Structure 1
Amino acid sequence: MKITKRILLYAMTIVVIIGAFIWNSRVEEWLKTQEEPEMIVRSDLLVIYPLVITLVALSLFALYRDWKEKSST
């Protein structure tokens, strides 16, 4: 994989992970202000968690593939 693609993949992964933590903390703060927080369905988690898991898996696969190529030469 080209180095620019790898850097972009790793940068996107880090930005999305940090963004997910910030988003989750803000939603938790917002939930504390609601009268009935148990009635709120967090549909945002259906987007955030699969995105984070996919990016982490792609980054780990890219790291493994690069490590495998370096160890074979």
Structure 2
Amino acid sequence: MTTNPFEDENGTYLVLTNAQGQYSLWPDGIAVPDGWDVALTASSRAECLAFVEERWTDIRPTPAGADA
């Protein structure tokens, strides 16, 4: 039994992005933190990971002032 919502293989997640072009999986039902936007609505963990893998090819943060 998983008690950590960030590690639930069967959970429903969002994909979030921030101003630096970084991505994060976020458990559905937990408030999105300030500075983050929803890039993918509620989906399976596997779908979210595939979404991130396809789009986040350079994990370095976008430099301040640069267009993402």
Q: TM-score, normalised by structure 1?
A: 0.25
Higher normalized strand content (fraction of residues): 2
Higher normalized helix content (fraction of residues): 1
Structure label with greater radius of gyration:
1
Higher relative contact order (CA 8 A, sep 6+): 1
